[in-house]
Amino acid sequence: MTGSIEQTGLPADIPDLPAPGRAAAIPVSATRAGARLRKSRWPARLDLLQSVSGLFLALFLVAHMFFVSSILISKDAFHTVARFFEAAWLFGKPQPWVVSVVVGVVFTVFVLHAWLAMRKFPASFRQYRVFSEHKAQLRHSDTGLWWIQLWTGFALFFLGSVHLYGMLTQPELIGPYESADRIWTGTMWPLYLLLLFAVEIHGSLGLYRLALKWGAFEGRDPVHTRRRLRVAKTCFSVFFLGLGLVTLLAYVQLGIAHADQAGQRYAPSVVGNVAVRN
Amino acid sequence: MSTSPRILTLRVLRSSPVEGEAPHWEDFRVEEAEGMTLFLALTEVRERLAPSLQFDFVCRAGICGSCGMLIDGKPGLACCALTRDHGTTITLAPLPVFELIGDLSVNTGKWMRGTAERLETWIHSAAKPDLTAVEPRMEPELAEAIYELDRCIECGCCVAGCGTLRMREEFVGAIGLNKIARFRLDPRDERSDEDFYDLIGDDTGVFGCMSLLGCHDVCPKGLPLQTQIAFLRRKMVAVGLK
């Protein structure tokens, strides 16, 4: 590849080489064969960890949406799901701390992912402005999507933390009436509405970018695959936003209907779910 | 029935760091011709309207990579851009990141050389080169694969299209990663993945890529940058986990 240097037509002794206008990661004098220091393996591990934590959270998000949307089937269905996670099937009676443990794990991964992702944020006003102008000038779809991913991620620092902290400290208050009261009487619905949009958009973009980043599903025609991934991303967003909105509406309706008895715990109408049977 | 040719307005971001001329937009009107490229339009401007207009070209055929510039905000080669694919007003600006020479001319060669030196983009072999010996045979498929990545003309479009590099100028960019991918393929290069990790195994290298894929989408040569960067990431993570 010496040709690529020669074809620049530049003399070999340009004074400001090796990296014009840029800070090289390693001084060239240190990169000569035999003189190079072994580079840390941590950047590789952190990069992988960011992806793995993101994948874990996205998969949890999918499962979580199906769990909470069981309210659309019936109050008993959601009650059964909620009690299932209290592991009465294991301990003989409901143990809300089990939910706290699960939430604690998710919260830990959430914080870890946020910390890792922050490395990619613009680190100064100059970087922010440069990227913002670049995005506006280039009008490139994936560059624009990353900007959305950035801001939805930023919003999740706060929205997600509030939700997770509530579930962590009050695991026993997950149930048809309990959740509906929290959403309506506890005025959490605006936060959940914002959280829904932020998390679903961020999650779908994250999964899409994850596939591109690691070359998953590339196949013989990566360009075609990328188009299909974009369609899948949009379908993911639309489906889970739709499901989430309908589910949130169901909780709001239930909360309004139950506002007079807010605070009253739900008692299942059918004695047959796991928690009661045990 | 013939229609009258369009009158194009080329809105050029002009400046001259040497003469201290501040950046400003200047409009030039040219009559569009059949099959006109931006290179031809700019040549007409320079010949008829603004002899001092600076822009680079050599091959006029998308081979040399000299005429890279921002065309309506997107990096591209002026010699390959047909005016009919654009509106009647076309904005032209120099590629960012690179040292500005003047008007639309930037010093990509200086940047490319810095990157080549930094990433050591040449064959590394302990064997003493024998210039008279016949080169070892190579499978045609492998030669094709190397050639595919070697088609890079160093025009700088991927550099200008990369949001990560615009934010963090120490990032090696797709061009640097593509070159590493090319030498990793080459059996004559004796470097191991551990050696390549030492060159690109951090956030200024492959782990800094945020997969925005502006590079891939603006590359005038259609290089498989998306797949090569993903491939390198997998290989470098494998080194990192050892």
Query: Which three-class secondary structure state does DSSP give residue A222?
Result: helix
- pLDDT, residue A141, reads 96
What is the spatial distance between Cα A2 and Cα B191, in angstroms, rounded to a whole number? Answer: 16
Give me the helix-helix angle, A42-68 and B225-240, nearest 10°: 110
Residue A1 and residue B186 in contact, taking contact as beta carbons nearer than 8 Å: no
Cβ contacts of A50 within 8 Å, gap of 6 or more:
A113, A116, A117, A119
Residue B155 has pLDDT above 60, yes or no: yes
What backbone phi and psi angles, to 5 degrees, belong to A60? -60, -40
B210 has a chain A CB within 8 A of its CB: yes
A35 has a chain B CB within 8 A of its CB: no
Using one digit for the tens of pLDDT, what is the confidence trace for A158-187? Answer: 999 999 999 999 999 999 999 999 999 999
The CB density around residue B130, as the number of other CB atoms within 10 Å, is: 8
Q: Which of B122, B168, B182 lies closest to A2 in CB terms?
A: B122
Is residue A128 assigned to a domain? no
Q: Which residue has the higher pLDDT, A33 or B71?
A: B71
- pLDDT, residue B138, reads 93
Q: What pTM was estimated for this model as a whole?
A: 0.88
- pLDDT, residue A35, reads 59
Interface contact flag, B202 A39, Cβ < 8 Å: yes
A271 has a chain B CB within 8 A of its CB: no
Q: How many helices (H) does chain B have, and how many strands (E)?
A: 9, 7
Instruction: Categorise residue A221: left if φ over 0, alpha if ψ from -120 to 50, beta otherwise.
Output: beta
Is residue A249 assigned to a domain? yes
ipTM over 0.95: no
Is residue A93 assigned to a domain? yes
What CATH code is carried by the domain that includes residue A60? Answer: 1.20.1300.10
Residue B62 and residue B220 in contact, taking contact as beta carbons nearer than 8 Å: yes
Q: Which of B112, B166, B201 lies closest to A44 in CB terms?
A: B201
Residue A254 and residue A177 in contact, taking contact as beta carbons nearer than 8 Å: yes
Residue A2 has pLDDT above 60, yes or no: no
Using one digit for the tens of pLDDT, what is the confidence trace for B182-207? Answer: 999 999 999 999 999 999 999 999 99
**Ranges A14-28, A83-97, A125-139, B157-171: which has the least confidence:** A14-28
Instruction: Measure in Å the smallest separation between the Cα of A206 and chain B Cα atoms.
Output: 11
CA nearest to B222 within chain A: A223
Cβ contacts of B64 within 8 Å, gap of 6 or more:
B57, B58, B153
Is residue A11 assigned to a domain? no
- pLDDT, residue A269, reads 77
Using one digit for the tens of pLDDT, what is the confidence trace for A203-262? Answer: 999 999 999 999 999 888 999 999 999 999 999 999 999 999 999 999 999 999 999 999
Is residue A203 assigned to a domain? yes
Q: Which of B116, B227, B241 lies closest to A215 in CB terms?
A: B227
Task: Tell me the chain A residues in contact with residue B202 when contact means C-beta distances shorter than 8 Å.
Answer: 25, 39-40, 43
Mean pLDDT of A19-29: 39
Instruction: Measure in Å the smallest separation between the Cα of A104 and chain B Cα atoms.
Output: 27
Residue B130 and residue B142 in contact, taking contact as beta carbons nearer than 8 Å: no
What is the spatial distance between Cα A116 and Cα A110, in angstroms, rounded to a whole number? Answer: 10
How far from the centroid of its chain's Cα atoms is residue A199's Cα? 6
Token digits for A210? 């994850």
The CB density around residue A49, as the number of other CB atoms within 10 Å, is: 16
Using one digit for the tens of pLDDT, what is the confidence trace for A31-75? Answer: 444 556 789 999 999 999 999 999 999 999 999 999 999 999 999
Instruction: Measure in Å the smallest separation between the Cα of A62 and chain B Cα atoms.
Output: 23
Query: Which residue type, as a one-letter code, is found at position A40?
Result: S
Interface contact flag, A140 B217, Cβ < 8 Å: yes
Task: Tell me the chain A residues in contact with residue B161 when contact means C-beta distances shorter than 8 Å.
Answer: 138, 140
- Among B117, B209, B234, most A C-beta atoms within 10 A, so best to mutate, is B117
B166 has a chain A CB within 8 A of its CB: yes
Give me the helix-helix angle, A125-138 and A141-169, nearest 10°: 130
Which of A:175-194 have CB within 8 Å of B?
A: none
- pLDDT, residue A275, reads 42
- pLDDT, residue B172, reads 97
Interface contact flag, B122 A47, Cβ < 8 Å: no
In eight-state DSSP terms, residue B125 is -
Query: Which three-class secondary structure state does DSSP give residue B25?
Result: strand
Token digits for A173? 């208050």
Using one digit for the tens of pLDDT, what is the confidence trace for B58-70? Answer: 999 999 999 999 9
- pLDDT, residue B135, reads 86
Is residue A78 assigned to a domain? yes
- Among A2, A46, A47, A149, most B C-beta atoms within 10 A, so best to mutate, is A47
Which of A:57-116 have CB within 8 Å of B?
A: none
Query: Which three-class secondary structure state does DSSP give residue B102?
Result: strand
Is residue A86 assigned to a domain? yes
Residue A20 has pLDDT above 70, yes or no: no
- pLDDT, residue A18, reads 36
In eight-state DSSP terms, residue A37 is P
Helix (H) or strand (E) holding B93: strand B89-93
- pLDDT, residue A233, reads 97
Residue A170 and residue B241 in contact, taking contact as beta carbons nearer than 8 Å: no
Is residue A71 assigned to a domain? yes
- pLDDT, residue B129, reads 84
Using one digit for the tens of pLDDT, what is the confidence trace for B34-45? Answer: 999 999 999 999
In eight-state DSSP terms, residue B71 is E
- pLDDT, residue A37, reads 76
Token digits for A166? 């509530």
Total of domains in chain A: 1
Residue B161 has pLDDT above 50, yes or no: yes
Cβ contacts of A124 within 8 Å, gap of 6 or more:
none
A215 has a chain B CB within 8 A of its CB: yes
Using one digit for the tens of pLDDT, what is the confidence trace for B2-54? Answer: 678 999 999 999 999 988 889 999 999 999 999 999 999 999 999 999 999 99
Which structural domain, as residue segments, surrounds residue A199?
43-120+140-268
